[in-house]
Chains A and B, each alone.
Chain A
Amino acid sequence: MVLLRKLHGCFTLLTMMGALYAIFVIAPRELTMGIVQKIFYFHVSAAWIGFFGIYVVFFCSLIFLIKGGRQWDIRAASAAEVGVIFFTLNLVSGPIWAKPVWGIWWTWDARLTTSFILWLIYLGYLMIRRLVENPEQRARLSAVVSILGSIDAPIVYMANRWWRTQHPQPVVAGDSNSGLHPDMQVALLLTLMAFTMLFFYLWKTRINLERAREDVDILRKTVQYYIKEAR
């Protein structure tokens, strides 16, 4: 198992390096935007993984509610923590890219708005986990919230899309896959792969951390018990 983890880690690192190479060496410089455009690869991939993450949380939460079992709760919560990082990356990289290129920090187009809303839902999920004492209740309540959020996500996206067809706003990133140079497509795909690998690696790490924490807790309680008995 440890070997598998190490392999996973190495592979993630390799794909990351490959992606970076593709982004900075292979993919051509964009005509108008220059080097700043390269943020695009990170921005879009982070968004994809954020969305993917929310559905991982959804899936694990659903199984937890139906089948039960602490493992699924740990998986859901860990995926949420990792996913929120990717969305944060997405939301932060957006303005960094938009300002030099388009002159505006932010725009309420469908994609960005949905990312923002989902980020808030993630945060709501994580806040619930912090504010509920009882572990079973914590698991169930956060599962319910994540299910609501995941069902809401496509509705939020569509509602924003329809709104923006009526009231167009500048769209940051344009249509991401239209008119992309083939080398750029390669770079994007590699980055996506790298981020996916990273997501799974971080997710597994977080799950292991949580399990280790529980083991320590049990050990500590056992030791305390024996000390008390010995007295």
Chain B
Amino acid sequence: MKFFNQTTTILMKEILSEYKTKDVLISMLLFGLLVILMFNFAFEPDSEEIRNFGPGLLWMTFIFSGLLGMNRTFAGEKENKVLEGLMLAPISWNSIYLGKMLANLLFMLLAESIILCLFSLFFNYAIWSRIEWMAIITFLGTLGFSAVGTLLAAVSMNTRMSEVMLPILLLPLALPVILSVVLATTANFSTPPEQNSMIFWIKVLIAYDVIFITVPLMLFDYVLEE
């Protein structure tokens, strides 16, 4: 209960900070828009190609803008070393991890919803028919990405080139997530939708999420220690 309160307090603070600055959301959205623009000029996709490549392009857009947002999680803590303030408080450090992870998840989901609409708009990609499954896949995928990403953002924060280290570490480790979401999305939007394949990859996502929320919780203390 206490742990839950601590996590919620930190999550609320993250939301409040973001509400004031809107740094993270704006940069994620702008970047996502730019990536979509690039794709359009790089591929000039017609509807047939979009059917094949759409999910991949979509998730690449999500991931690149997500990386941007993730970097900000701990970069903001460097100013005035506010992270130490959290570390000094009578809270379990795991609540710091969980609070930030949930904040990342929330911001990414928000940005992804908007990017998804834009994507559907610019590429005439029909998403509304199976949107519930898309929502589930997006949630599970973003959760996994955020879970590992938050831990690695804390790790990268201590290195000299923190913005570069995060993608270098995160992308290989998040490969199973990337694979699963793209395949699940493809299965979801193919005609007819490949239900079995999609369910299979959703299960993989759930397994990944469970493992990669548990393991970071066990390792987070070691990352924060001086």
| Known contacts A159-B176, A163-B183: A147-B211 contact under CB 8 Å | no
- Complex Cα gap A149–B212 (Å): 11
Mark the stretch among B20-28, B40-48, B153-161 that contacts chain A.
B153-161
In the complex, B200 has a CB within 8 A of chain A? yes
Asked whether, in the complex, the Cβ of B165 is within 8 Å of the Cβ of A144, the reply is no
- Write the nearest CB–CB distance from A201 to chain B, whole angstroms: 29
For residue A134, which residues in chain B have a CB less than 8 angstroms away from its CB? 158, 226
- Write the nearest CB–CB distance from B39 to chain A, whole angstroms: 21
Q: Considering only CB atoms, which chain B residue lies closest to A65 in the complex?
A: B222
- Complex Cα gap A97–B8 (Å): 55
In the complex, A145 has a CB within 8 A of chain B? yes
Q: Which of B82-107 contact A (CB under 8 A)?
A: none
Mark the stretch among B114-122, B134-142, B167-175 that contacts chain A.
B167-175
What sequence of 0s and 1s flags, for each residue 191-217 of chain B, a beta carbon within 8 Å of any chain A beta carbon? 000000100100010011001100110
What sequence of 0s and 1s flags, for each residue 84-113 of chain A, a beta carbon within 8 Å of any chain B beta carbon? 000000000000000000000000000000
| Known contacts A131-B165, A162-B204, A166-B197: A144-B223 contact under CB 8 Å | yes
In the complex, B151 has a CB within 8 A of chain A? yes
Q: Considering only CB atoms, which chain A residue lies closest to B207 in the complex?
A: A155
The B contact surface, by secondary structure, is helix
Q: Per a CB cutoff under 8 Å, which of B168, B175, B215 touches A148?
A: B215
| Known contacts A124-B169, A166-B197: A144-B175 contact under CB 8 Å | no
| Known contacts A131-B161, A137-B158, A163-B179: A124-B200 contact under CB 8 Å | no
Q: Considering only CB atoms, which chain B residue lies closest to A119 in the complex?
A: B172
In the complex, A143 has a CB within 8 A of chain B? yes
- Complex Cα gap A163–B56 (Å): 14
- Write the nearest CB–CB distance from B110 to chain A, whole angstroms: 27
In the complex, A185 has a CB within 8 A of chain B? no
For residue B159, which residues in chain A have a CB less than 8 angstroms away from its CB? 127-128, 131-132, 141
For residue B152, which residues in chain A have a CB less than 8 angstroms away from its CB? 145, 148
In the complex, B16 has a CB within 8 A of chain A? no
For residue A219, which residues in chain B have a CB less than 8 angstroms away from its CB? none
Q: Per a CB cutoff under 8 Å, which of A131, A136, A156 touches B160?
A: A131
Q: Considering only CB atoms, which chain B residue lies closest to A118 in the complex?
A: B172
Asked whether, in the complex, the Cβ of B204 is within 8 Å of the Cβ of A127, the reply is no
Asked whether, in the complex, the Cβ of B176 is within 8 Å of the Cβ of A140, the reply is no
In the complex, A152 has a CB within 8 A of chain B? yes
User: What are 13 sample pairs from A and B whose C-beta atoms fall under 8 A apart?
Assistant: A117-B172, A117-B175, A120-B168, A123-B168, A124-B165, A124-B172, A127-B168, A132-B160, A134-B226, A137-B158, A145-B169, A147-B215, A148-B216
Q: Which residues of A contact B (CB under 8 A)?
A: 65, 117-118, 120-121, 123-124, 127-128, 131-134, 136-137, 140-141, 143-145, 147-149, 151-152, 155-156, 159-160, 162-163, 166
